[in-house]
Chains A and B, each alone.
Chain A
Amino acid sequence: MRAKGKRASGMERRRARWGWAFVLPSLAFFGLFSFYPIFNAFYTSLFKQKLLSLAPPEYIGLGNYTYLLHSPTFWNSVRATAIFTACTFVLLVGVSLLLAAFIVSRKRVQKTLQMVFFSPAVVSSVVAAAVWLLIFDPRGLGNQVVNGIMQTPGVDHKWLASATMLQLSTVLVYFWKYVGYFTIIFIAGLASIPATLHEAARIDGAGSWQSFWKVSFPLLKPTIVLVSVMAMIQCLRTFSTQYVFYQAGAPRGPIDVIAFGIYNTAIRDHQIGRASAMSVILFCIMLFLSWMQFRVSRSDDVSYL
């Protein structure tokens, strides 16, 4: 053990050098493909620039940001993103936690259930959206199943036509795709809780629900924070489902989320400066909400040991 403040020995310095040597390539890769595009987006957002134009970009300072903050289309995107995120986030975190608790309690079919719920997560978002398009076709399984359950034959629930149903459809697709992914993370979190704590709770007369709520749930806090942050970021950057649905004929307004707006501004309108400004705003929203989650969740760590 080294005394505090004492300089590292020669051996420790040599080891640190090897550590840097192994980490540097990854850092360089991350810097090139993550940090550089982020700084480039900040820089580009200060210019009026068209993608195909050979003219030098025109510096306009915060002009793109001013335009966006006064743009009804942009605020519609913020609204669409907020609605989608709020609905999907609550469903994802809540249901995946309950699902994890259920799966952990089923010793015999645990692996099978994990595989069944996780498998949609390995399908690409575009493929998932394409499959659900067939289900949401007026003649598809969506109407058949709902009409069968509700005994309303021939009713078209307008999965892709009505604004509310369209938003629900995108939430459904996202939930279906990612609930298994977060369930696995919660299962790993639950597995890290020592079994002795549950045994002790059982000996003291606690039922299953009390054991979960008083023992497992508080100790799961770090996992819940991780899942919350990941789910929030995933929901805020949703794009593929909305894009595929729009290409298939769905109206744009209800599902014009910020990422989709960025795509249209850059690729359809060729306004790369304005699209970069939208990316920066989305990044700031993600940063703020993530910081809020960490701040709200910060409290004394629970430990029964």
Chain B
Amino acid sequence: MKRMWLAFIAVVVVAGLMAIPAAGVQLVFWTHEDPNRTPLEERYVDEFEAMYPGVTIQRVAYPSGEMAQVVLTAFAAHQGPDIFNQEQSPEFPYIVNQRVAPVNPVALGYPSVQAIYDAYQTGTLDGATYEGNLYGLPLEFTNWCLFVNTKYFREVGLNPGTDYPKTWEEMVTVSQQLAMRNGDILTRRGFDFRYPYYLTFLLPMVEQLGGALLSEDGQTGIINDAAWLQVLNYFQQWGPNGLNLGSPTYTAARKEFNKDNNAIAMCESGLYQIDRIRTENPAFYASNEWMIIPFPVWENAVNNYASNTYAHYYMVNAESTSEKQEWAWKFIAFMLSHGEEYLLNCGLVQPTKTLMASEAYQSLPYAEIFAADIARAKSQPLNVANPQLEAALKVAIESVMLSGVTPEQALQTLRQTVNEILQD
């Protein structure tokens, strides 16, 4: 009995010793999975730890689709990581609720916050700016253009260099020529939208016609019914109950595009898609049977807007100790000092003026198309209710495409839902 108690005490003591944290700073870094970025950042972790032996960094990658809820759950339990990144829409509530720390310009290697703004392209830090403070630096800055499989264009007698769609109306005509069907079933779509990211591609379509999701003061939803009805009518015609050119229930267009398997001729995506084509289908990449074209505009557009831009920002947990926050910003600065490596290895654009003017960026295929579209783009709107607003847009679009709801009914429901969300 005595030996049992001695053994029990020994186990408790050893367990206690193991629980004592090691000396030095330990940072927890959560990010989303990216097969191209992972080896790069794991190398940065090793290099940073070698430079600063007292600092250890634990990098954990989660599937993209789970990242938002994993980080949210952790922060709700006050167990959030020291460093994390998300898209600006789900990140914004963290800023508003003061769950992330303002940037430390000195730790980042800048003399002041203004110097950080001066180092980046105008507007690209707007997604992490709130009430005059900056809360993150961009891991990637994205806008979408259209990727085109030129081989399918030539198959149906179209010249991809001149006959690509420049307006949404032309998109219908071209897609009808490109589409292949087995009865009702589309075996090849000409083009399909990037459902359900409606804040990125749908809002600009409405704003091109002079409409808006929210009023200037943010108190009222759905501005300019004519603009909204034109867009809703368009999607009703696009869907399976109209011209049957596409549907949210088909496999995502950008996933089919890389396979070059006669499933889709055009899709919406960002600059990173080029790297994914190269990795997933080297033969297709090398064939040059693809090209990139600008985001279309309506024939009766009053604004020449491209797809909304958005960014993933690296942010620091406000509940981490001051020492950890300082080291977190230093590590972020170290990672982001490799802008060209992120660009060339992962297709990720970190919009510093230096990188955008560099030979590495300028020589990327179709970089000028993306840059021109960025110049005519707005940033995705920032609102704590963005996930709910996007869900309301999803219901509106899918109800007219799939459920036989008229555009007028869908617009009425959308207005009611958006105004309820704003009041809540």
Q: Taking beta carbons and an 8 Å cutoff, which residues of A are in contact with B?
A: 50-54, 136-139, 143, 153-156, 158-163, 247-253, 264, 267-270, 272
Contact = CB atoms under 8 A, between A and B. Distances in A.
A153 B184 CA distance: 9
A53 B97 contact: yes
B247 interface: yes
B35 interface: no
Interface stretch (B17-25, B327-335, B397-405): B397-405
A272 B387 CA distance: 15
Contacts of B93: 52, 270
Interface string B239-265: 010000001111100000000000000
A161 B97 contact: no
Contacts of A138: 184-186, 247, 249-250
A154 B181 contact: yes
B97 to A, nearest CB: 4
11 contacts: A52-B75, A52-B93, A52-B94, A139-B250, A153-B183, A154-B183, A156-B183, A249-B250, A249-B398, A252-B395, A267-B72
B279 interface: no
B196 interface: yes
A216 B398 CA distance: 50
B250 A137 contact: yes
B321 interface: no
Interface in B70-129: 72, 75-76, 93-94, 97-99
Contacts of A163: 403
Contact of B76 (A158, A250, A268, A272): A272
Contacts of B230: none
Contact of A268 (B75, B387, B399): B387
Given A153-B183, A156-B183, 13 more contacts: A51-B72, A51-B75, A138-B186, A138-B247, A139-B185, A139-B250, A154-B181, A154-B184, A158-B240, A248-B249, A251-B402, A253-B395, A269-B387
A251 B184 contact: no
B391 interface: yes
B36 interface: no
B161 interface: no
B388 interface: yes
A154 B186 CA distance: 9
Interface in B271-304: none
Contacts of A153: 182-183
B363 interface: no
A264 B195 CA distance: 18
B394 interface: yes
Majority secondary structure of chain A interface residues (helix, strand, loop or mixed): loop
Closest 6 CB pairs of A and B: A154-B183, A249-B248, A156-B184, A160-B249, A52-B97, A51-B76
A267 B182 CA distance: 40
Contacts of B387: 268-269
B132 interface: no
B185 A156 contact: yes
Contact of A251 (B69, B72, B399): B399
Given A139-B187, A249-B195, A162 B98 contact: no
Contacts of B185: 138-139, 143, 154-156
B248 A156 contact: no
Residue from A52, A143, A159, A250 whose CB has the most chain B CB atoms within 10 Å:
A52
A267 B69 contact: yes
A21 to B, nearest CB: 14
A161 B247 contact: yes
A253 B185 CA distance: 24
A135 B330 CA distance: 49
Contacts of B249: 136-138, 158-161, 248-250
B102 to A, nearest CB: 16
Contacts of A52: 72, 75-76, 93-94, 97, 99
Nearest to A53: B97
B157 interface: no
Contacts of B182: 153-154
A158 B97 CA distance: 42
B402 A161 contact: yes
Nearest to B248: A249
Contacts of B68: 267
Interface in B44-80: 65, 68-69, 72, 75-76
Scoring B93, B98, B182, B399 by chain A CB atoms within 10 A of each residue's CB, the highest score goes to B182
Contacts of B395: 251-253
A137 B251 CA distance: 7
Contact of B196 (A137, A155, A249): A249
Contacts of B186: 138-139
Nearest to A147: B183
Nearest to A51: B76
Nearest to B186: A138
A22 B324 CA distance: 44
A253 B248 CA distance: 15
Contacts of A154: 181-185
B183 A251 contact: no
Contacts of A156: 183-185, 240
Contacts of A247: 65
